[in-house]
Amino acid sequence: MTELTNWINGQHVKSGSGRFSDVFNPATGEVQAKTPLSSVEELNEAVAKAKEAQVAWGNTNPQRRARVMMAFGALINKHMDELAELVAREHGKTLPDAKGDVQRGLEVVEVCMGAPSLLKGEFTDDGGPGIDLYSMRQPLGVVAGITPFNFPAMIPLWKMAPALSCGNAMILKPSERVPSTALRLAELLQEAGLPDGVLQVVNGDKSVVDAILDNEDVAAVGFVGSTPIAQYIYGRAANNGKRAQCFGGAKNHMIIMPDADLDKAADALVGAGYGAAGERCMAISVAVPVGKETADGLIERLIPRVEKLKVGPYTSGDDVDYGPVITAAAKSRIEGLVDSGVNQGAKLVIDGRGFEMQGYENGFFVGPSLFDNVTPDMDIYKEEIFGPVLSTVRADTYEDALNLVIDNPYGNGTAIYTADGDTARDFAHRVNVGMVGINFPIPVPLSYHTFGGWKKSAFGDLNQYGPDAFRFYTKTKTVTARWFSGIKEGGEFNFKAMD
């Protein structure tokens, strides 16, 4: 049994807490490693060491910090297969999906290679008589990232790359369910030239999270996870005077208009709804066809596509569409919500409950489920399922469909499939959701834009990656300067000009 470690001052360090959490192989149900649940004292010691290391790193010029990101990006590329294997082994994703996880994180690292241009301040020449004004962006000090299980590489990279490029030291607390990728990334950062202590990986549970939120030397916290925890972390961080960007749950809708290409829409829904076993905050979990003919045609096209989905372990190679969910508890919760949908009157078109795979009977596999005639009062509509379940809510008109999205408490992502530009433009302008796709099912912005939801999907003013990340991880200092000097008149200095 592998006993994992923390990463402190550039080396693996065993926790002395004596407490551990199981790391499962989701495909077999077997425990493959133990994650340490560090003590509050260990967290505070890691913060103190990070604070010491940050001084020199913060005084390193941005171009040299960017060179570390360049070397880091090259190492991620070199070790892509190894990192994807780590992700797949602990999370259960297929290898292509795991590589996508790493790749989307790498893209943020690539943007951070241009950190010097993003850290430039502003300058006003001669704002008053002999007066110049300029601003500079400076690091916050020690910051923290608390990351979820569903993207073991991508979201830690979304946090650490901008934070470190801005000159901060970071405490990273990865999910205790998938810790190995974060530890390996820390090793690669050291190889890339990051000084010891600038990144500390501290594994733990709620006690470590609370210690991060209460430690006065931690200036900012970034979190991704469920909405209740996001709201809790945001509130406690703000109460302790910290910056916080906390991203929570989602209930993403895709509207399908009568003029949409239904084959393309069905293909998009299958990929967006069932990919990664539905364990992603940008998954489309609600299809909203407008009009009976559209709904009937969509369901007709979805059924054979969903029935053909192949579920299996990542070791099966590219011949698998998605793998198991993260834990037995997750499997039970998903199937329980499917039960509730049936009991509350939705039409279960395809039933994924009770799925078993020969040779992997103890794995956490859930078959794909497809519902029709779901209504907004049902639990399967109101709750984030985070599993391979697609619900179809029929709408009579475009306005009905739009209001369904507007009235939903979550606002992470949404999409519309239509051939009409005016409808698409109206949707993009009126919908109160942070990320919008037009004939595009999962509208995750490219890394030089920014990622973030609205409503109960996000707490805090600034989003992840892109320009917002550099604003979040720095503070602005503005200088107003005037230099007194004599003014020559006829070869003599006029010292009155200095008054």
Task: State what percent of residues in the chain have pLDDT above 70.
Answer: 97
- Of the residues 112, 166, 246, 281, only one is catalytic, namely 281
One domain, residues 230 and 160: yes
Instruction: Report residue 204 as tokens.
Output: 């733990």
- On the question of pLDDT at 145 being above 50, the answer is yes
SS3 of residue 108 by DSSP:
helix
Please name the amino acid found at residue 5: T
Same-domain status, 82 and 159: yes
Number of domains in the chain: 2
- Residue 488 falls within a domain, yes or no? no
Tell me if 452 is assigned to some domain: no
> Same structural domain for residues 216 and 73?
yes
230 in a structural domain: yes
61 assigned to some structural domain: yes
Angle at 196 (CA atoms; ends 68, 245), nearest 5 degrees = 70
200 and 258 part of one domain: no
Question: Which one-letter DSSP state was computed for residue 331?
Answer: H
Q: Could you tell me what percent of the chain has a pLDDT over 90?
A: 93
Are residues 233 and 272 both part of a single domain?
Answer: no
Domain range spanning residue 126? 2-248+457-480
Whether residue 401 sits in one domain with residue 345: yes
The confidence band for 319, taking pLDDT boundaries of 50, 70 and 90, is confident
Phi and psi, residue 377, nearest 5°: -90, -5
For residue 497, the model assigns a pLDDT of: 46
Q: If 0-12 CB within 10 Å is exposed, 13-18 middle and 19+ buried, where does residue 178 land?
A: buried
User: How many beta carbons lie within 10 A of that of residue 319, not counting itself?
Assistant: 8
Q: What is the pLDDT of residues 82-141, one digit of tens each?
A: 999 999 999 999 999 999 999 999 999 999 999 999 999 999 998 888 899 999 999 999
* 486, pLDDT greater than 70: no
**Residues 374 and 462 reside in one and the same domain:** no
Give domain status of residue 490, yes or no: no
pLDDT value at residue 255: 98
Residue-level pLDDT at 318: 79
Q: Which residue has the tokens 């992470």?
A: 412
- Asked if the structure places residue 268 within a domain, the reply is yes
CB atoms within 10 A of CB 272: 26
The band of 498, judged by pLDDT with boundaries at 50, 70 and 90, is very low
pLDDT of residue 499: 47
Average of per-residue pLDDT across 429-435: 97
- Whether 498 is in a domain gets the answer no
Q: What one-letter code names the amino acid at 243?
A: R
Alpha-carbon span 293 to 287, nearest angstrom: 14
Residue 56 CA to residue 282 CA, distance in Å, equals 38
pLDDT at 470 over 70: yes
| Of 4, 184, 160, 192, residue with least CA distance to 81 | 184
- Pair (195, 103) in one structural domain: yes
Which is higher by pLDDT, 487 or 224?
A: 224
Whole-angstrom Cα distance, residue 20 to residue 218?
A: 25
Do both 475 and 380 map to the same domain?
Answer: no
Query: Would the pLDDT of 493 be above 60?
Result: no
Which pLDDT tens digit goes with each residue over 44-82? 999 999 999 999 999 999 999 999 999 999 999 999 999
Q: In what order do the strands lie in the sheet with 347-350?
A: 347-350, 369-372, 389-392, 284-289, 252-256, 413-417, 435-438
CATH of the domain at 111: 3.40.605.10
| pLDDT at residue 350 is higher than 50 | yes
Task: Work out the angle at residue 53's Cα, subtended by the Cα atoms of residues 48 and 55, and round it to the nearest 5 degrees.
Answer: 105
Asked whether residue 497 is assigned to any structural domain, the reply reads: no
- 210 and 64 assigned to the same domain: yes
CA-to-CA distance for 6 and 37, rounded, in angstroms? 10
337 and 416 inside one domain: yes
Q: Are residues 305 and 319 in the same domain?
A: yes
What's the average model confidence in pLDDT over 217-222?
Answer: 98
Q: Does the pLDDT value for residue 4 go beyond 70?
A: yes
Q: How many CA atoms, within 13 angstroms, populate the side-chain half-sphere of residue 461? A: 7
330: CATH: 3.40.309.10
The pLDDT of 331-343, averaged and rounded, is 98
Q: What's the pLDDT tens digit per position in 277-309? A: 999 999 999 999 999 999 999 999 999 999 999
Local structure of 385: helix, strand or coil: coil
- Annotation says 246 is catalytic: no
Collapsing DSSP states into helix, strand and coil, what is residue 177? coil
- Please determine, for residue 197, whether its predicted confidence score (pLDDT) is greater than 50: yes
pLDDT in tens, 228-272: 999 999 999 999 999 999 999 999 999 999 999 999 999 999 999
